[in-house]
Structure 1
Amino acid sequence: MKFENIIMTIFDYRNYGNRLQNYAMNAILEKYGNCTTINMSLHNTHFWDSHVEVVKERIKHMYSVLFRNDHALEFRRAEKGKLMTKRQIPSNSFFATEYAGFTGRRGCSYNRVVIGSDQVWNYLWLSETELKLRLGSFVSNNHPIISYAASFGVSEVEDRKARAIFQQYLPRLKAISVREDRGAELVREMTGLDATVVLDPTLMLTADKWLEITKGFVSDGDRYVLTYFLGRPSDEQERDIQAYAKAHGCRVRRILDLRDRDTYVAGPQDFVELFSKARYVFTDSYHACCFSILFHKQFTVFNRAGMTGKSNMNSRMETLFRLFDLDSVMMDSGLAPEIDYRKVDRLLEQHRRESQDWLDRAMEE
């Protein structure tokens, strides 16, 4: 089969933002022809190891059906991410592993590679070989490569070997766009090239488009404040959450928090639905902010403790808030000022047009 475009991104069934941005990236590329995502989830590459992994997955599935402990809940959540990927994101034609490199099923070919989005270039998580793959090292000169909303996930590239890899492979890209202001600065510092800051793919789809994939995970009439933290809220922040919920007659639903076991098993589609029906959102997550914006939710972002220096992930937040003039939502504690969604919507439409215009130009042959 001939694909017009193949997507190179992180492939993680357990990560909400990753699965949803991959779905969105696939959706926005459909206007340029059929596309598929390179499956990079196969860490075991030897024949015997692959069969062992299949057996392990079957055992985990039986375990999750029979039990409700933490491990079983985690597997059920991952299974939902895997099922969503199977149904919504074509990804069974091309594969990439550190051991075997880039491979494709017999008869499959492609015209163009699109790298992104998410922290696809976070070298702290990758071997040198994997970083090269994420930069399109497998692509011949006959196939154009672009990046859309790619992220380094760090504020500095301090490792000399990683810098050398970026300096070698970034100039091979036909067009470079990134998700954060700091990402554009890193591209310029390492290569002298210009990179354009564009919207995360999740923000390129309308709220109505997102609601099409929801499955009725949230019951009618459920009044709740929603939390989604990748760090751990302080005691003061937790008191703020509880105080808001009590004052507004809501319970607290907690994504990715084992204190709320019913919500813990939410898959990517359930994640979208939880945001669409929340009365208020407290978070420290970038994609939680994106979906709060899409569904016009009032929200507060609590600063994440202990995230400084090269591990600081707030650069993506800072860019998002600059684009939508929302600096006031980030707090150490308390409640953010009310968001004017008429203004936010105007900015969203403007940035969508600019991002789409960039993509249209980049995708020209």
Structure 2
Amino acid sequence: MSKIGILTWLHNENYGSVLQGYALQKFLIDEGFDAEHIDYNASIKTKVLNLIKNRNSLKLFIEKWNFYQIKKVCKNPNLLKMRSHRFNDFKVKNMRLSERYTNPEELKGTNGKYDIYISGSDQIWSPMLLNPVFYLSFVEDKYKKIAYAPSFGVSSIPEIKKNKIAEMLNKYDRISVREEQGTKIVNQLTGRIVRSVLDPTMLLTEDKWEKVAIKPKDEKYVVCYFLTFNKEYYEKAKEFADRKNLKLILISTTKETYTLDCDIRIDVGPSEWLGYIKYADYVFTDSFHGCVFSMMFEKIFFIFKRFSDSNANSQNSRIYNFINIFGMDNILVNDINKFDFYSEINIDYVKIKETLNEESKKSADWLIGAIESEG
């Protein structure tokens, strides 16, 4: 049996990143494949060198240090340590991991350990933080290279990075991407016609996610999960919870969250995060994976824009792609002052789950076909 090595983001303490990594491996193992994650966690030196070499956005690089800034304002740093522990514990208990690698040179040593390499999902192909490792640049040409649902995260590639990305894309045997916009980017850069597939989290059924979700002690609550701080969003969520006579729970993501007078949950690992969504009465989110799991658990939820559409670095495309697939435009908050949060929200989960099952099968068939194909 061929051995598969998966490379994706696993170490940024982002719920969606870890859960999509878990989902892809879980799906492959359940289908009878021998798959493990290549445990890549770049050293600080490697990250800085990649920043310089690939002319990445310094602003975006600095924003990645938000977690470290949180430590300065968090009133109980031990809760941050507990969150880290829960992330690590989730990976140890639920995922097969290789030995640890910290730079591209070490990764070259994986050649011969795997027959097939898969670039996993999430925004690992973002040109803003271009990292050739996630394009499998270290893999020798004799091994099969597959991309399953990676995202560029943007609608266009900066001119200065087009040639480099095109060169790396052309070395793949099979490519799929997560968003329709990504298919256009690949076609423009390489001439190849590729298809969009579902995020790996949607390859697993609801009952499989229920098995790893931990039920919170809280009952009757609205949960907020925003990746970008927007005080107006939180104020609207607070007003909504008060009018519904529900508790408001915020899952912390940014240092600004700690300036709010509300119930902030810090020590939340992937399983706890799933539980907060599954058992919520309502969900407010600007997160793609927040939307995915709200849909998976059939919640009433509201989708907020994380970026202005005029922002050149906007990552709203993945939200729009999700909405278009499942027909959920009625819960997208385009204008917070005009959106009616209190009228009856109609989410046709019978139709949505039919679509999910159909699209999940198509995506699963593509992936299995890519693995089993010759060449």
The TM-score normalised by the length of structure 1 is 0.85
User: Where in structure 2 are there 5+ consecutive unaligned residues?
Assistant: 47-70
Q: Determine the C-alpha separation between the residues in 2 that align with 1:271 and 1:125.
A: 26
- Aligned-partner residue type, residue 152 of structure 1: F
Q: Determine the C-alpha separation between the residues in 1 that align with 2:248 and 2:372.
A: 47
User: Where in structure 1 are there 5+ consecutive unaligned residues?
Assistant: 47-63
Q: Determine the C-alpha separation between the residues in 1 that align with 2:237 and 2:347.
A: 18
CA contact 1:13–1:78 (8 Å) conserved in 2:
no
1:75 aligns with 2:70: no
1:251 aligns with 2:247: yes
Q: Determine the C-alpha separation between the residues in 1 that align with 2:154 and 2:162.
A: 13
- TM-superposed deviation, 1:339: 0.9
Superposed, which structure 2 residues align to 1:334-349 within 5 Å? Answer: 334-335=339-340, 337-349=345-357
Q: Determine the C-alpha separation between the residues in 2 that align with 1:251 and 1:70.
A: 22
- TM-superposed deviation, 1:267: 0.3
CA contact 1:115–1:148 (8 Å) conserved in 2:
yes
- TM-superposed deviation, 1:304: 2.6
Match of 2:313 among 311, 314, 327: 311
Q: Determine the C-alpha separation between the residues in 2 that align with 1:4 and 1:99.
A: 21
CA contact 1:5–1:34 (8 Å) conserved in 2:
yes
CA contact 2:87–2:270 (8 Å) conserved in 1:
yes
Q: Determine the C-alpha separation between the residues in 2 that align with 1:102 and 1:69.
A: 43
CA contact 1:116–1:150 (8 Å) conserved in 2:
yes
User: Quick one: structure 1 residues 157 and 148, their matched pair in 2 at CA, closer, same or farther if it must change by over 3 Å?
Assistant: same
Q: Determine the C-alpha separation between the residues in 2 that align with 1:3 and 1:249.
A: 55
Match of 1:111 among 68, 93, 115: 115
- Aligned-partner residue type, residue 277 of structure 1: Y
CA contact 1:95–1:103 (8 Å) conserved in 2:
no
Aligned twin of 2:358: 350
1:226 aligns with 2:223: yes
Q: Determine the C-alpha separation between the residues in 2 that align with 1:330 and 1:320.
A: 11
CA contact 2:250–2:264 (8 Å) conserved in 1:
no
Task: Give the superposed CA RMSD.
Answer: 2.5
Q: Determine the C-alpha separation between the residues in 1 that align with 2:164 and 2:134.
A: 11
The TM-score normalised by the length of structure 2 is 0.82
- Aligned-partner residue type, residue 241 of structure 1: A
Superposed, which structure 2 residues align to 1:1-365 within 5 Å? Answer: 4-30=3-29, 31-43=31-43, 69-93=75-99, 95=101, 97-98=103-104, 100-104=106-110, 109-126=113-130, 131-160=131-160, 162-216=161-215, 218-219=216-217, 222-235=219-232, 237-256=233-252, 257-258=257-258, 259=260, 263-306=265-308, 308-331=310-333, 332-333=335-336, 334-335=339-340, 337-365=345-373
Q: Determine the C-alpha separation between the residues in 2 that align with 1:78 and 1:159.
A: 38
User: Is the partner of 2:11 in helix, strand or coil?
Assistant: coil
User: Is the partner of 1:215 in helix, strand or coil?
Assistant: coil
CA contact 2:223–2:276 (8 Å) conserved in 1:
yes
CA contact 1:230–1:284 (8 Å) conserved in 2:
yes
CA contact 2:147–2:174 (8 Å) conserved in 1:
yes
CA contact 1:145–1:173 (8 Å) conserved in 2:
yes
Identity of aligned residues (%): 28
User: Is the partner of 2:323 in helix, strand or coil?
Assistant: helix
User: Is the partner of 2:97 in helix, strand or coil?
Assistant: coil
- Aligned-partner residue type, residue 80 of structure 2: E
- TM-superposed deviation, 1:75: 2.8
CA contact 2:6–2:38 (8 Å) conserved in 1:
yes
- TM-superposed deviation, 1:122: 1.1
